[in-house]
Amino acid sequence: MSQLLPDEAAERLVSTCRTTVGDNARSVTYFSRTDHEQLYLREDLEQDADLMAFIGTERQDFAMASDGYSGTELGRYRYTMRVFENGYAIRVDGRDKGVLVTCDGMELRDFNHLATAVGKTLDEWEGED
């Protein structure tokens, strides 16, 4: 299934996202500072979309968020939510990797639940390094 993650880890990440937001989940992409892999794409969406520009933007912002917000009075950076005409993108960062989940319309608390669930999964994996 995945080249960046063991199959079991990729399946768990997709399952975590799908369980948290249900049919609102559009896609799940795991990325590092140098590579990315789309782990899930809902069947009714364009299957051959080019993710390079999208992930490139997230990767650049990933570095800025990781470095730029450390030590601020706001506390630990948790996630980024982007709002688009046809949905939302939520990026949750780990130390050197992240997950980008795109979704249809949801309530704000649903985004918090999603970010918390994905963040816990990334934290568990980082503890295994």
Q: How much is the mean pLDDT over the chain?
A: 83
| pTM of structure | 0.81
Render pLDDT for 12-62 as a digit per residue (tens, 0 to 9).
999 999 998 889 999 999 988 788 899 999 998 887 777 777 887 887 777
C-alpha span between 15 and 118 (Å, rounded) = 10
| C-alpha dist (Å) from residue 10 to 3, 51, 106, 114 | 9, 18, 24, 16
Element (H, E) at 123: helix 108-127
Give the per-residue pLDDT at 127.
Answer: 62
Give the per-residue pLDDT at 5.
Answer: 87
Element (H, E) at 68: helix 52-68
Are 30 and 108 in contact, with CB atoms under 8 Å apart? no
User: Can you tell me the mean pLDDT for 80-102?
Assistant: 86
